[in-house]
Amino acid sequence: MFHGKTSFEEARQQMVERQLAQRGIVDERVLQAMREVPRHRFVPEDLWDMAYRDTPLPIGYDQTISQPYIVAYMTQMLHLSPDDRVLEVGTGSGYQAAILSRLAKQVYTIERVEGLAQCAEQVLQDLDYRNVLVRIGDGGYGWPEAAPFDAIIITAAAPEVPPPLIAQLAEDAPLVTPVGPAGYQELVRLHKRGDQTQLEHLVPVAFVPLVGEHGWREWDLTAE
Ligand code: SAH
């Protein structure tokens, strides 16, 4: 297979045009970030040829990098500004964090699987994306020392939005996350308005589970 820089570049421009722009992703900053970040670098090398397809891909440890359209859609729903500080739960490959890093000032991202966190950190460093901090741990607790956040994105599904994450949102800031059990989730967006939260239901999705105190317990998963 031909692995020239141009072929990846071309595949990426086509991905943005056909999978994103033609399907209603309209935020020009989001489209630009997706044109720029080399998605293939975030998947195992034997999958580089598939990196710009319209599909999630395996990244090891039973986890996946999300479909490009879902990454763009969730990012668009966050309405990021260049000065924002963003929290991501579920670093995985680091690709979503890389997209966020092009659109916000500082990205904080938490991953429970050490091997994935280390791999993501390495790729982000190789690409010289310096405004991303990667932490290993249970992201359901958030990153209290860095709170409040201007936006939060969770890229794994919990039974409900983890309360510590709502507590770490700035006033009026959005949180986008899948909610629900395996095979039956919806993407939601909530805003914190004073003591209240305002919830919007977006689209049906399929994410891997958020595992931990505020997610699904390991035994819920093995019991399936
Ligand atoms: N955003 C990722 C894809 C996420 S896959 C990307 O761009 O590639 C979901 C990730 O969430 C997996 O890597 C999984 O290990 C992680 N995860 C699951 N439960 C978690 C938890 N409680 N805290 C942090 N990460 C978690």
- Judge whether residue 222 has pLDDT over 70: no
Closest to 155 measured CA to CA, from 78, 84, 223, 217: 78
- Judge whether residue 224 has pLDDT over 50: no
Q: Please report, as a single letter, which amino acid is at residue 25.
A: I
Show which residues are catalytic. 66
- In terms of CATH, what superfamily is 55-223? Vaccinia Virus protein VP39 (3.40.50.150)
Over range 179-192, report the average pLDDT: 93
Residue 211 Cβ inside 6 Å of ligand 1? The answer reads yes
Q: 134-160: per-residue pLDDT in tens? A: 999 999 999 999 999 999 999 999 999
Q: What gap in Å lies between CA 185 and CA 203, rounded to an integer?
A: 9
pTM: 0.96
Residue 215 Cβ inside 6 Å of ligand 1? The answer reads yes
The pLDDT value given to residue 221: 54
Q: Which atom of ligand 1 is nearest to the CA of 214?
A: 22
- Judge whether residue 59 has pLDDT over 50: yes
Residues 141, 143, 149: CA angle, nearest 5 degrees: 115
Residue 57 Cβ inside 6 Å of ligand 1? The answer reads no
- Judge whether residue 5 has pLDDT over 90: no
φ, ψ dihedrals at 193, nearest 5°: -125, 95
Q: Which atom of ligand 1 is nearest to the CA of 213?
A: 22
The pLDDT value given to residue 4: 72
> Per-residue confidence at 3, pLDDT binned at 50, 70, 90?
low
The pLDDT value given to residue 218: 66
Sign of CA dihedral 207, 213, 218, 223: negative
Residue nearest to atom 26 of ligand 1 (CA): 90
The pLDDT value given to residue 1: 55
Q: 77-121: per-residue pLDDT in tens? A: 999 999 999 999 999 999 999 999 999 999 999 999 999 999 999
Q: What gap in Å lies between CA 18 and CA 38, rounded to an integer?
A: 17
The pLDDT value given to residue 151: 98
